[in-house]
Chain A
Amino acid sequence: MESGLYYLFLAYTILWVINFGYIFFLGKRYKDVQRELEHLEKIVSGK
């Protein structure tokens, strides 16, 4: 039973680490592209 709880805890920890890791990775890419887009829009509107 004790080892069952250990594996259960391990599985759910890894599950959420992968999920939040992906969401964080997606959010970071989103912010980077948004920043680049804003920068390029400024250049184009300034011409």
Chain B
Amino acid sequence: MKEKLKDALALATAVLVVSALYMVFIYAPTEANMGNIQRIFYFHVSFAWTGFVAFFGTFAGSIMYLIRKKRCWDILAVSSAEIGIAFCLVVLTTGPIWARPVWGAWWTWDPRLVTFLILTFMFVAYMIVRGAIEEETKRGRFSAVIGIIAFLNVPLTYVANVMWRTIHPDVIRPDKVDLDPRMIHALFMSMSAITLLYVILLLWRMDLEGMRDRVAELKKKIMEEA
């Protein structure tokens, strides 16, 4: 049943990704000032948004782990953090590729860019700390604290455009979305596709962590019996 659900989710993700690509490249109109290069925006924003969702998964898992001390919450936290880092890597590469022809520079030390880079580094640090601690409970506790602190950078990254002077485009605001309706449809479809991609990757990654636990358990059992 569980495997069938995963297969159905994977199929739905593939269908949504293809639909999103169709909407981004064919359905959405070409932006008047930037031209075709603006089409990077749809997937760039979708990966950034889902990266935030992934880090929220780590934040929620970390809080629950500290309260309940159950390994399943730690598994959710680490799995979500790893996917979040992969998605941030997409954002950090597609952003400069868009910026080069539009801004004339690959990178500027803009508040939105810097806060996003720090956010990614903090979650990379989270993974490094996890790899450095052997004992399971200690590893879970330490990394949960880092996961919670690192997540605090997400709202800061989101409001960086409002708090400081920035050249990063700000077309999506809580009160208004400054886009053609067809562009909004394409963006919504891309966000749905990448969010579903996150869900399926999270399920696979959590399964992997569960199997690793079982391997460790069996190794311990064999050592005790030897």
Contacts and interface: CB of A to CB of B under 8 A. Distances in A.
Contact of B100 (A7, A14, A26): A7
Q: How large is the interface on B (under 10, 10 to 19, 20 to 34, 35 or more residues)?
A: 20 to 34
A8 to B, nearest CB: 5
Interface residues of A, number: 27
Contact of A7 (B40, B89, B205): B40
B191 to A, nearest CB: 15
Contacts of A41: 218
A7 B149 CA distance: 36
B39 interface: yes
B212 A4 contact: no
Contacts of B222: 40, 43-44
Contact of B211 (A12, A33, A44): A33
Interface in A7-47: 7-8, 10-12, 14-15, 18-19, 22-23, 26, 29-30, 33-34, 36-37, 40-41, 43-44, 47
Contacts of B94: 11, 14-15
B93 A7 contact: no
A36 B40 CA distance: 41
A26 B215 contact: no
B36 A14 contact: no
A26 B101 CA distance: 34
Interface of B: 34-37, 39-40, 43-44, 47, 83, 86, 89-90, 93-94, 97-98, 100-101, 197, 201, 204-205, 207-208, 211-212, 214-215, 218-219, 221-222, 225
Per CB-CB distance, the 9 closest pairs between chain A and chain B, nearest first, are: A4-B37, A40-B218, A11-B97, A22-B86, A11-B40, A11-B94, A4-B35, A4-B36, A33-B211
